[in-house]
Amino acid sequence: MAKTILDIKGLRKTYGIHEVLKGVDCAVQEGEVISIIGSSGSGKTTLLRCVNMLEEFQGGTINLDGEEIGYRVDGASRRRKSEKEIARQRALTGMAFQQFNLFPHMSAAENVMLGLVKVKKMTNPEARAIAERWLDRVGLAARANHYPGQLSGGQQQRVAIARAIAMSPRLMLFDEVTSALDPELVGEVLQVIKGLAADGMTMLLVTHEMRFAYEVSSRVIFMNQGVICEEGDPKEMFVRPKTERLAEFLKTSSFN
């Protein structure tokens, strides 16, 4: 039986009076690749950001690799953990976003090395070796000393993915990593994610690439208005959606 890496129970998140996550339950086993789909505003990004404690949440629990994320819950009382503790927990996950957020004045290798040196306290040569290994894995061995401005969007996104994964996270979170790319650059980034999936990396990815979700995911989660509306095997869900909502969504999406 696979090990549960992530266990989300009754997750609630509000912005002011607006409840954007209305009780989300989701368990992820080691090695699973889960695609989160759903229309804009359904809460996909917020869900990932809660897992990474980039957002506070008001109810429920997120257990990551056996640890309660963000809060110490004791009966009815709930206290935010120390910032130091939260920073440590944040490093259990790696995240890649639509925007690559690379440092423009640092080479690809230096961008990947930064967290290894600053957070993991590695020496420069240790960090360099790991950075080069991951840049090689994402097909950028020859670009290690290039600056972001000298790289295409697809290459920059691959550096950003290498940077996140070099930190050895227990779970990778991808939020629409191909949405800002020119169409001809989408494939190379999806290929990298596919490779990581094949290697057994556990991942949660928000995507609009329905064909990709269909091919790569072990499970798909369809979110609608702050709840998981339907989930299951992509081979089943995309072909025979059980809910009207999902059927509607698939009609307007790129999956054909």
Contact string 4-43 vs ligand ADP (x = CB under 6 A): -----------x--x-x-----------------x-xxxx
Q: Does 45 bind Mg ion (CB under 5 A)?
A: yes
Crossing angle (nearest 10°) for helices 108-118 and 153-165: 20
Helical (H) or strand (E) element with 92:
none
Shortest Cβ 174–ligand ADP spacing (Å):
12
Residue 15 interaction partner, one of Mg ion, ligand ADP, none, beta carbon < 5-8 Å per kind: ligand ADP
Which of 35, 46, 107, 207 is close enough to bind ligand ADP by CB under 6 A? 46
Q: Is 12 helix (H, G, I), strand (E, B) or coil?
A: strand
Separation between Cα atoms, residue 143 and residue 249, nearest integer Å: 39
Measured in degrees and rounded to the nearest 5, phi and psi for residue 167 equal -80, 5
Q: Which of residues 83-142 bind ligand ADP (CB under 6 A)?
A: none
Q: Which of residues 52-81 bind Mg ion (CB under 5 A)?
A: none
Which residue sits closest to Mg ion, CB atoms considered? Answer: 45
The terminus-to-terminus CA distance of the chain in angstroms comes to: 35
Separation between Cα atoms, residue 37 and residue 224, nearest integer Å: 9
Residue 6: closest CA among 89, 65, 73, 56: 65
Shortest Cβ 244–Mg ion spacing (Å):
23
- Residues of this chain that bind ligand ADP (CB under 6 A): 15, 18, 20, 38, 40-46
Chain residues that interact with Mg ion, rule: CB under 5 A: 44-45
